[in-house]
Amino acid sequence: MPGFRIFFLLLFPLITGLFLTPGIAFARSVSEYQGRHSRIELQVVSLPSESVRFTAYLAPEKGWHVYWKNPGDSGTSLRTNWKTESPMTIEDWEWPVPKRIQYGDLTNFGYDFPVYLFAVAKPVEAKTASSAFPVRAEFRWLVCKEECLPESAVLVVDSIGEKPVFTNRSQERGYASSLTGLPLPENPNIAVSFRKKGENSFLFRIEGENLPQEFDFFPEDMSVLSHTKPFLLESSSEKIEFEIPKSEYSSTNPDSIRGVLKLGNSNHRVLVHSGGGGFFLQALFFAFLGGLLLNLMPCVFPVLFLKAFELSKIPDRRTVFLQSFLYFAGVLVFFWILYFVFLFLKAGGESLGWGYQLQNPSFVFLLIAIFFYLGLQMLGAIEFGVSVSGSAVRLADRSGIAGSFFSGALTVFVATPCTAPFMGSALAYALSEGVASGMAVFAFLALGTVLPVLTIRNVPGLAGILPRPGPWMRTFREFLSFPLFLTSIWLFWVFGALADRNSSSIVLVWILLSLFLLWVRKRTESVLLHKAILLLALVSLLGTAYALRKSPPRSTVPVASEHFPWQEFSKQRLDSDLRQGSGVFLYFTADWCITCKFNERTVLHSDEVSVFFKSKNIRVLKADWTNEDPEITKALDSYGRNSVPFYVYYPPGKPDRPKFLPTLLNKELLLKTLEE
pLDDT grade for 309, boundaries at 50, 70 and 90: low
pLDDT at 124 exceeding the cut of 50? no
- Average pLDDT of the chain to the nearest whole number: 80
Q: What confidence tens digit (pLDDT) does each residue in 581-602 have?
A: 889 999 999 888 878 888 888 8
Per-residue pLDDT of 128-165, as tens digits, reads 555 557 888 999 999 998 889 999 999 998 888 888 88
pLDDT score for 460: 65
Q: Is the pLDDT of residue 111 over 90?
A: yes
The average pLDDT across 358-373 equals 84
Q: H/E element holding 513? A: helix 501-523
pLDDT score at 562: 59
pLDDT at residue 392 in the model: 41
Task: Say if residues 33 and 153 touch (Cβ distance below 8 Å).
Answer: yes
Residue 259, CA atoms < 13 Å, CB-side half-sphere: 28
520 or 114: whose pLDDT is higher?
114
The helix or strand, by DSSP H or E, that contains position 6, with its residue range, turns out to be helix 2-20
Element (H, E) at 19: helix 2-20
215-219/239-245 β-pairing: unpaired
In degrees, to the nearest 5, what angle opens at C-alpha 387 toward C-alphas 386 and 389? 125
- The predicted pLDDT at position 41 comes to 94
Query: Angle at the Cα of 324 (from 318 to 325), degrees rounded to 5?
Result: 90
Confidence tier at 22 by pLDDT (50, 70, 90): very low
260 pLDDT band, cuts 50/70/90, is very high
CA distance 285 to 291: 10
pLDDT interval class at 469 (50, 70, 90): low
**Would you place residue 183 in the very low, low, confident or very high pLDDT band (cuts 50, 70, 90)?**
very high
pLDDT category of residue 396 using cuts at 50, 70 and 90: very low
Long-range pairs of 375-378 with CB within 8 A, sequence gap ≥ 24: 375/481, 375/482, 375/484, 375/485, 375/488, 376/481, 376/518, 377/481, 378/302, 378/306, 378/477, 378/478, 378/480, 378/481, 378/484
| pLDDT of the residue at 350 | 59
- 81 pLDDT band, cuts 50/70/90, is very high
More confident residue, 609 or 395: 609
Q: What is the maximum alpha-carbon separation in the chain?
A: 142
* Rounded Cα–Cα distance for residues 613 and 536 (Å): 55
Q: CA torsion, points 669, 671, 675, 676, in degrees to nearest 10?
A: 10
pLDDT in tens, 33-58: 999 999 999 998 887 766 788 999 99
HEC assignment per residue over 87-105 = CEEECCCECCCCEEEEECC
Nearest in space to 358 (alpha carbons), one of 452, 460, 490, 475 = 490
DSSP state of 47: -
Q: Mean pLDDT, to the nearest integer, of 359-365?
A: 84
Q: What is the mean pLDDT of residues 217-221?
A: 93
Q: What is the pLDDT of residue 84?
A: 80
pLDDT of 480 above 70: yes
428-460: pLDDT as tens digits = 778 777 788 889 999 999 999 888 878 877 776
Predicted pLDDT at 559 = 53
Q: Is the dihedral of CA 221, 223, 227, 228 positive or negative?
A: negative
Q: Which residues pair with 67 in a beta bridge?
A: 110
Which helix H or strand E contains 194, and what residues bound it? strand 191-197
Q: How far apart are CA 270 and CA 192, in angstroms?
A: 8
- How far apart are the C-alpha atoms of 188 and 577, rounded to whole Å? 40
CA distance 449 to 295: 6
Please give the C-alpha separations between residue 72 and each of 14, 222, 226, in angstroms, as whole numbers: 42, 6, 8
Reply yes or no on whether the pLDDT at 65 is more than 90.
yes
Contacts of 45 (CB under 8 A, 6+ apart): 52, 53, 55, 160, 161, 162, 163, 164
Could you tell me the domains of the chain? Answer: 32-181 (2.60.40.1250), 190-275 (2.60.40.1150), 282-498 (no CATH), 567-675 (3.40.30.10)
pTM exceeds 0.75 for this model: no
645: cis peptide before it, omega within 30°?
yes
217 phi/psi in degrees, rounded to 5: -140, 130
pLDDT score of 393 more than 50: no
Q: Which tens digits make up the pLDDT trace of 486-534?
A: 888 888 888 888 888 888 888 999 889 888 888 888 888 888 887 888 8
At 661, the amino acid letter reads: L
Whether the predicted pLDDT of 18 surpasses 60: no
- Report the C-alpha gap between 347 and 335 in whole angstroms: 18
Q: Which residue has the higher pLDDT, 24 or 348?
A: 348
State how far the Cα of 425 lies from the Cα of 416, in Å rounded to an integer. 16
Q: If you write DSSP's letter for every residue of 148-172 in order, what string do you get?
A: EEEEEEEEEE-S-BSS---SSHHHH
Backbone angles phi, psi at 552, to 5 degrees: -60, 135
> Which residues face 53 on adjacent strands?
45, 120
